[in-house]
Amino acid sequence: MSVAGKTAVITGSNSGIGLGIAREMAKAGVNVVLNSYTDRDEDHALAAEISKTFNVNAKYISADMSKGDECRRLITDAGGCDILINNAGIQHVAGIEEFPAGKWDAIIAINMSSAFHTMAAAVPGMRAKGWGRIVNIASAHGLTASPYKSAYVAAKHGVVGMTKVVALETAQEPITCNAICPGYVLTPLVEEQIPDTMKEYDMSREDVVKNVLLKRQPSKEFATVEQMGGTALFLCSDAAAQITGTTISVDGGWTAL
Ligand code: NAD
């Protein structure tokens, strides 16, 4: 079965990996719902541009993924979805003793709890239609840890665990739930942590990229947003119908070390 004509809701998709996945999905004929909490003219323009370029229905729905009721409203306002990509995420880098409690709460809410709410809202519609694909964008940090990222690592491990639970709850239905675990992808989220990491390690930008960010990525290359989109599309294909409750690492060998 082709994914063309299906509808995908992609949380946090006006930038980076989410936008890359939205474009790859649209290229494959999937109707896409873009999301962020910003509600700017350019967010709506992005949806219009994708719609025009790929000849699919594309719309932008503003909803704040730090709030459970907004996560659920996103699914309702989208009119349900066949494909749910939980991608919204933020990062903060600090040692445990200085880690601001507000940042902890925000990261747990946006990076982890949002997936609980959107999945809870989307699964009944998938069950009714008899088809569904859930792809949670976790991280290599859902499988391993790094210093200074307590909230992010906790949230991403939580997403991997929740992915397995939803897969088991839907195992006997034509619904799958998996997580993609990217290594480093050069997006605004990664760009923003370079200055803090430069300070933390007293290093130049070039050294942070080479010796900190890509230190654990044996390929020594960033993964791309297009590769994330391609992996998500594979998980939506018939070939992946028996792949559920697992993780696919797209990390240049990071988790093989
Ligand atoms: P990004 O900063 O480019 O994109 C984050 C997206 O989340 C944006 O669209 C932003 O609008 C959205 N977002 C943030 N807070 C939101 C909120 N409260 N409500 C709704 N949307 C919100 O970052 P990215 O690198 O593309 O990250 C996307 C996902 O991929 C995140 O979950 C991140 O943890 C994960 N990831 C990224 C990398 C990487 O190297 N870039 C690696 C592993 C995992």
**Per-residue pLDDT tens for 39-54?**
999 999 999 999 999 9
In the chain, the N- to C-terminal Cα span, in Å, equals 37
**Cβ proximity of 257 and 216 under 8 Å:** yes
Q: Residues 186-209: pLDDT tens digits?
A: 998 889 889 988 998 999 999 999
Q: Does residue 94 sit in the same domain as residue 137?
A: yes
Q: 137 pLDDT exceeds 80? A: yes
Where would I find the beta strands (DSSP E) of the chain?
7-10, 31-36, 58-62, 83-86, 132-137, 175-182, 247-250
* Pocket probe mutation, ligand 1, options 11, 19, 36, 38, max atoms within 8 Å of Cβ: 36
The CA 164 to ligand 1 mean position distance, Å, reads: 21
Average pLDDT across the chain, whole number: 97
The answer as to whether 1 is a domain residue is no
| CATH number of the domain bearing residue 161 | 3.40.50.720
**Phi/psi of residue 58, nearest 5 degrees:** -135, 130
So what's the pLDDT on residue 202? 94
Q: 65 pLDDT exceeds 90? A: yes
Q: 121 pLDDT exceeds 70? A: yes
Looking at residues 118-137, what average pLDDT do you find?
98
The answer as to whether 144 is a domain residue is yes
Report whether residue 113 contacts ligand 1, using a CB cutoff of 6 Å: no
pLDDT band, residue 2 (cuts 50/70/90): confident
The answer as to whether 244 is a domain residue is yes
Tokens 């409690």 belong to residue: 101
Q: Does residue 20 sit in the same domain as residue 32?
A: yes
Nearest of 80, 69, 61 to residue 14 by alpha carbon: 61
So what's the pLDDT on residue 1? 62
CA distances from 220 to 73, 198, 214 (A): 40, 19, 6
Q: Phi-psi region for residue 64, left (φ > 0), alpha (ψ -120 to 50) or beta?
A: beta
Q: How far apart are CA 22 and CA 58, in angstroms?
A: 9
Above pLDDT 90, what percent of the chain?
Answer: 93
Q: Does residue 211 sit in the same domain as residue 130?
A: no
Least confident of 30-34, 72-76, 206-210: 206-210
Q: How far apart are CA 217 and CA 208, in angstroms?
A: 13
So what's the pLDDT on residue 170? 98
Is residue 152 annotated as part of the catalytic site, yes or no? yes
The boundaries of the domain holding residue 217 are: 186-221
Minimal-distance CA residue to ligand 1 atom 12 = 12
Q: Does residue 160 sit in the same domain as residue 82?
A: yes
Q: How far apart are CA 114 and CA 119, in angstroms?
A: 8
Total tally of structural domains belonging to the chain? 2
* Pocket probe mutation, ligand 1, options 107, 187, 193, max atoms within 8 Å of Cβ: 187
The answer as to whether 2 is a domain residue is no
The answer as to whether 162 is a domain residue is yes
Looking at residues 177-187, what average pLDDT do you find?
97
* Pocket probe mutation, ligand 1, options 24, 67, 189, max atoms within 8 Å of Cβ: 189
Report whether residue 139 contacts ligand 1, using a CB cutoff of 6 Å: yes
Q: How far apart are CA 51 and CA 150, in angstroms?
A: 39
Q: How far apart are CA 183 and CA 221, in angstroms?
A: 10
Q: Which atom of ligand 1 is nearest to the CA of 192?
A: 2
Q: Which atom of ligand 1 is nearest to the CA of 91?
A: 34
Q: Does residue 41 sit in the same domain as residue 81?
A: yes
**Cβ proximity of 183 and 252 under 8 Å:** yes
So what's the pLDDT on residue 189? 82
The CA 33 to ligand 1 mean position distance, Å, reads: 16
Q: Residues 212-252: pLDDT tens digits?
A: 889 999 999 999 999 999 999 999 999 999 999 999 999 99
Residue of 37, 152, 184, 201 marked active site: 152
Q: How far apart are CA 65 and CA 110, in angstroms?
A: 5
Q: Does residue 125 sit in the same domain as residue 210?
A: no
The CA 65 to ligand 1 mean position distance, Å, reads: 11
Tokens 């962020």 belong to residue: 36
